[in-house]
A and B are shown apart, each in its own frame.
Chain A
Amino acid sequence: MPWRYSRWTADHPLSLGAGERAAVGQEVHAGDVLAAGTTYGTPVRVTGARRLGVAPEDLARVMRVPVGGEVERKTVIARTGRRFARAVSSPLAGRVIHQRADGDLFVAPIVGRWAVRSTLDGEVSRSDDACVSVRGSAWALQGVAGYGPNAIGEIALAVDSAAGELQPSRIDVRLRDRILIAGARATAESITRAHACGVAAVVAGAAPAGGLRVVYGDEATASGATTGPDAPTVLCLIGFGMAPLPRDVFAPLAALAGARAAVHTASARLFVFAPESAGDFAQDPPSLALSDDWLGARPIDEQLTLAGVTRFASEIEAEAVATKDGAVPVANVLAFDAPRTPRS
């Protein structure tokens, strides 16, 4: 099924320096801050346990600022004794970021701040310095690749049909914070214009691979690209180049226009927060055919019939299915929800 209403888990990896996190079991909504933290400059190592004359494992007992706490310059981090006191103070303003096994400490200046927002309505199922996971129910559509940061917004149709191409002229600031449904293709120009107009994300059947590299750099691969928060968000549902959306995929998107939604780029999923009874969206998966020259994909609406072993222009002989546009190798026909990553 391309559309499924289910309980999903969305992982939100955290950068170094998480200062606050949602607790396990906490109810959150898509868009709520799950964690916030700081980015660090070059840290300074401060002699800790040795200076205080305590064992490294006893250092925590005498610390006045815990690891992770913010300090000003000359703030006393740890102190022992009364009349003949020994103290460790911070050489700079920042945070105490780490305690070494030998009892020394690292203090780093704060050079920036970050926040991670939930992409699901639900409850926090895991929360530690590496990741915060949220588990919740939603309608979801699985894509093949997500690019950019996670995004939250309302669904808005930006094309008239499933085979339409997102035209830059249809994008303006009134679509700010919307998740645009872009039909068969979202060009690099429309992606950058959408980002400039404050659009939350663009969801399309396909996007040009070259355009994605222009926007996200050479690190963008067919599996996606993770970036900082200042990049546009794109979700490719079928592939690259040109890929009209199947009717069973596009019709629910049109019906769900205005609903709250989120794009989770790491898993390449579009979550839509509508009740399970919002529509009869869970249909059999439509078939997709990769074009002979691999330049795009298209949905196959007709009933598939086997055409037997066929010799193609490349002289490869393979089992084929008959379509109205000619024979297509069976291997080049996939269900919309077929796994698109190889098994290990």
Chain B
Amino acid sequence: VTISTELVASVEIAHEARTERVPAGPADGPVLRVIPGDVVHVAALLGRDPRLAPAMAFGTLAGGASLVGLVGTHDGRSFVERAELLRDAHPDLIVALAPDRGDVNGMVELAEALRFGCGHQQPPPHILVSADERVRARIAASCPANAIEALPDLRTPAGRQALVARLRALRRRAQGDVVLRDEALEAAARSMSASAGADVALLDVTGGSTSVIHARPDGTVLGIHERLGVGAAADRVVARAGLDRVRRWIPRAVEAPALLERVFNRARWPDAIPASVLALSLEMALAREAIAHALADAERAGVSLDAAWASPLLVLTGRLAQLPRAAQSLLVAIDVFGATGATLVSRSPGDTLVAAGALAARGRAATMPDPDPIAIVAEMWPRRSATVRVTDANGVMEERVVRGSFLLVPTKGAVQIELPRTTVRPSARSLELGVVIDARGRPLSLPPRDAERIPTLARWHAALDVLPAEKR
């Protein structure tokens, strides 16, 4: 296979163990490869400014890396504890952030702990230093075996972009000229937003990663990419969320140990297909928690998601878009992505959007395939009973909505809806399902006891006809 970014004939997208080519069939010319990228472990040495830790977390989320260790000049750890933490983390990259001159001595302490802990690590991790020349020189003296590079202030967009570029270069290492999946998705979101003239939020869940991307028509893109997924990283979702948080989304009684068995087996079975309804429910539950944790991590890192919540367009890709029923993709998305207004939810099954995004990421003119519109979701929390008017090819339908309502209004042809207390009239040319009115309130609260939780979930699933009937 010829690898080239020039005159690309097809794009090859890597999944867990298989690859898909767009257009399908044997390659007839140069191929551009899209890969998830290597796992990159990053450890950070932080000065006193409390804004450094969130900035570091934001940078690693945006760059799709894993933040495996944070040591601070004032974290109270001893020299040996810091060295052990860094050694166990086995970092591929170290980021030292010391914007204040008063951090010099503390930063040298951390650099010495780094040399003590990771002095024999092969290859020695590069150190990116965001500090003045004096601090950089002191760190270089303490860690002579490590290559030192300067980094702009990570609290600024320029610093973050520099870190993201460095992390992506590391994730591509030894892979030749390739496009990372998250790069491709960001380029696709940017392009879709520009052509729609509206904000676009994109949710991508694969076996090994979860991305939440928000693009504005002016070209600015915010991307959060985490190693949480429904396949190879499924066990990481359980480790992060806890088994009960995954289990609570399954609309039937399931024993926790048996559920964990399924998660572990899926994690070690690349590209496995959920052949049973229960396995499919588990995949949906894992997707919910993966997205929820990506969003929570972003908020913890100080990322404002208000604009993303308010996006009028929500596009679903990856495994999330490949669930057999559109209602399944839709329910997973709206259960955890709490949009603040009416949102047109679409999905792009297959890899065509990723392929077009990869070409766009390489600066090539690429036409974004139109995703399939599933539904307009109107989220509301009315103080008293309110009326939603839906107009489609069959005429006008009115629905009374009270708190807790969750219903689907099937539609045909062009759709427009009128919501109470707003002059915005969301519309679409056609929808696979129709209009979903979601008055469940946010954050969603699920009863803890199975006796109440399962009927609640069953009601939500039945409203959208999410799961097929099981043969017993």
Interface residues of A (CB under 8 A from B): 15-16, 40-43, 45, 97-98, 100-102, 106, 108, 128-131, 144-145, 208-211, 213, 218-219, 221-223, 239-241, 290, 292-297, 312-318, 328-329, 331-332, 334, 338-344
Query: How far is the CB of A94 from the nearest CB of chain B, in Å?
Result: 11
Choice from B37, B141, B273 contacting A316 with Cβ under 8 Å = B273
Q: Would you list 26 pairs from A and B whose C-beta atoms are within 8 A, ordered by A residue? A: A16-B80, A98-B116, A100-B112, A101-B138, A210-B258, A210-B260, A222-B268, A290-B272, A294-B261, A294-B265, A294-B269, A295-B261, A295-B262, A297-B269, A312-B276, A313-B276, A314-B275, A316-B280, A316-B324, A318-B273, A331-B271, A332-B272, A342-B208, A342-B231, A343-B17, A344-B175
Q: How far is the CA of A314 from the CA of B323 in the complex (A)?
A: 9
Q: How far is the CA of A218 from the CA of B260 in the complex (A)?
A: 11
Q: Which residues of A contact B269 (CB under 8 A)?
A: 239, 290, 294, 297, 332, 334, 340
> B25 within 8 Å of A by Cβ?
no
Smallest CB gap from A108: residue in B? B80
Choice from B14, B260, B280 contacting A213 with Cβ under 8 Å = B260
Interface residues of B (CB under 8 A from A): 14-18, 35-39, 78-80, 83-84, 87, 108, 112, 115-122, 138, 141-142, 144, 171, 175, 207-208, 231-232, 234-236, 239, 256-258, 260-280, 282, 324-325, 468, 470-471
Choice from A106, A223, A338 contacting B79 with Cβ under 8 Å = A106
Smallest CB gap from A243: residue in B? B265
Given that A16-B87, A312-B276 are known contacts, is A101 also in contact with B468, CB under 8 Å in the complex? Answer: no
Q: Which residues of A contact B239 (CB under 8 A)?
A: 218-219, 221
Q: Which residues of A contact B280 (CB under 8 A)?
A: 314, 316
Query: Is A222 a contact partner of B270 (Cβ separation < 8 A)?
Result: no
Given that A315-B325, A344-B38 are known contacts, is A329 also in contact with B17, CB under 8 Å in the complex? Answer: no
Beyond known contacts A210-B256, A329-B275: 17 more, CB 8 A cutoff: A16-B84, A16-B87, A43-B78, A45-B79, A130-B87, A131-B122, A210-B257, A223-B267, A241-B261, A292-B275, A312-B273, A315-B324, A316-B274, A331-B271, A331-B273, A342-B207, A342-B231
Query: Is B36 a contact partner of A342 (Cβ separation < 8 A)?
Result: yes
Query: How far is the CB of A1 from the nearest CB of chain B, in Å?
Result: 19
Choice from B268, B271, B468 contacting A315 with Cβ under 8 Å = B468
Query: How far is the CB of B206 from the nearest CB of chain A, in Å?
Result: 10
Query: How far is the CB of B337 from the nearest CB of chain A, in Å?
Result: 23
Choice from A40, A209, A312, A331 contacting B264 with Cβ under 8 Å = A209
Smallest CB gap from B274: residue in A? A314
Q: Which residues of B contact A239 (CB under 8 A)?
A: 264-265, 268-269
Smallest CB gap from B269: residue in A? A290
Choice from A98, A108, A218, A240 contacting B261 with Cβ under 8 Å = A240
Q: Which residues of B contact A344 (CB under 8 A)?
A: 35-39, 171, 175
- A130, A294, A297, A338, most chain B CB atoms within 10 A: A294
Q: Which residues of B contact A313 (CB under 8 A)?
A: 275-277, 468, 470-471
Q: Which residues of B contact A339 (CB under 8 A)?
A: 17, 270
Query: Is A208 a contact partner of B275 (Cβ separation < 8 A)?
Result: no
Q: How far is the CA of A329 from the CA of B263 in the complex (A)?
A: 18
Q: How far is the CA of A213 from the CA of B280 in the complex (A)?
A: 24
Q: Which residues of B contact A223 (CB under 8 A)?
A: 235, 267-268
Q: Which residues of A contact B79 (CB under 8 A)?
A: 43, 45, 98, 106
Main secondary structure of the interface of A (DSSP, over half): loop
Q: Which residues of B contact A144 (CB under 8 A)?
A: 268
Query: Is A43 a contact partner of B80 (Cβ separation < 8 A)?
Result: yes
Query: How far is the CB of A111 from the nearest CB of chain B, in Å?
Result: 10
Query: How far is the CB of B317 from the nearest CB of chain A, in Å?
Result: 18
Q: How far is the CA of A239 from the CA of B269 in the complex (A)?
A: 9
Q: How far is the CA of A208 from the CA of B37 in the complex (A)?
A: 31
List of 10 A-B pairs having minimum Cβ-Cβ separation, nearest first: A210-B257, A130-B120, A222-B267, A292-B275, A342-B16, A294-B262, A241-B261, A315-B324, A222-B264, A314-B280
Q: Which residues of A contact B208 (CB under 8 A)?
A: 342
Smallest CB gap from B258: residue in A? A295
Query: How far is the CB of A331 from the nearest CB of chain B, in Å?
Result: 5
Query: Is A101 a contact partner of B141 (Cβ separation < 8 A)?
Result: yes
Q: Which residues of B contact A15 (CB under 8 A)?
A: 84, 87
Q: How far is the CA of A294 from the CA of B235 in the complex (A)?
A: 14
Query: Is A342 a contact partner of B17 (Cβ separation < 8 A)?
Result: yes
Choice from B83, B119, B257 contacting A209 with Cβ under 8 Å = B257
Q: Which residues of A contact B122 (CB under 8 A)?
A: 130-131
Smallest CB gap from A294: residue in B? B262
Given that A100-B142, A210-B261, A340-B270 are known contacts, is A294 also in contact with B112, CB under 8 Å in the complex? Answer: no
Given that A209-B257, A210-B260, A221-B267 are known contacts, is A312 also in contact with B232, CB under 8 Å in the complex? Answer: no
Query: Is A222 a contact partner of B263 (Cβ separation < 8 A)?
Result: yes
Query: How far is the CB of B52 from the nearest CB of chain A, in Å?
Result: 23
Smallest CB gap from B111: residue in A? A101
Q: How far is the CA of A45 from the CA of B264 in the complex (A)?
A: 46
Query: How far is the CB of B40 from the nearest CB of chain A, in Å?
Result: 10
Q: How far is the CA of A293 from the CA of B270 in the complex (A)?
A: 15
Q: How far is the CA of A335 from the CA of B309 in the complex (A)?
A: 44
Query: Is B36 a contact partner of A128 (Cβ separation < 8 A)?
Result: no
Query: Is B78 a contact partner of A208 (Cβ separation < 8 A)?
Result: no
